[in-house]
Amino acid sequence: MDITLVQGDITEQRVDAVVNAANSSLMGGGGVDGAIHRAGGGRILQECRRLRDTSHPDGLAAGDAVATTAGEMPATWVIHTVGPVYSASADRSHILASCYRRSLEVAEELNAATVAFPAVSTGVYGWPMDSAADIAVRSVTESSPTLGEVRFVLFDAQAYEAFSRAL
C-alpha cells in the first residue's frame, strides 16, 4: 500500500473514496464537512438523512465510520467519520486512531482501492497538528489494509509539513 501526501482540496481528489471529518449528527457542518457537502451536492445529505432514519438514529459515534456515495465529486464514495474533540486533560488518541482504522475497514468493504483522508480533528475540534499527524500515520500503517493508496490531503503548508515529518 502506498501512503502519499498532497497539499490541496480533498473534494477535488480522483480517488475511490474521500473521508469526511463529519460531526455525529451527519447533517453537515463547517470546514471539510461543509466543503464536501457543497462539492458533492444535496445527494450526500439525503443519504445521510436516510442513515439517521435507519441504521444510525442516534448519529455516528466518535471513532466510527459510515459511507454514502459522493454525489458530484470525482470520488465514488464519502466515508464519514467523527473525530474526537481534543482534550488536554483526557487522552482521546485511541478515538482518533479508530477514525482511520474504521474508515479503512469501510473502504475495504466498498472495494475502494484509493482513499483520501483529511487531517481529522485538527480544525474546529482543536487537535494539535503534529500529534494528529503522528496518530494518523501510525494508525494507517498499522491497519495495513489491502488498499492500493492512502492519500493524506492537507489543506495548508503547516499541515503538509506535519504529516511529512510523521511519515
**Residues of this chain that bind ligand ADP (CB under 6 A):** 9-11, 21, 31-33, 35, 83, 118-125, 153, 155, 159
Least distance (Å) between residue 43 CB and ligand ADP: 18
Residue 130 annotated in active site = no
CA dihedral of 145, 146, 147, 149, whole degrees rounded to 10? 70
Q: Residue 67 or residue 159: which is nearer to ligand ADP going by CB?
A: 159
Select 54 or 129, whichever has its Cβ closest to ligand ADP: 129
Q: Which of 10, 147 has the CB closer to ligand ADP?
A: 10
Which residue among the candidates 33, 58, 64, 91 is catalytic per the annotation? 33
Give the dihedral sign, CA 138/144/146/149: positive
State the Cα–Cα distance between residues 160 and 111, nearest whole angstrom.
Answer: 27
Find how far residue 85's CA is from the centre of its chain. Answer: 14
Sign, Cα dihedral of 33, 97, 13, 112:
negative
Q: Known catalytic residues? A: 33
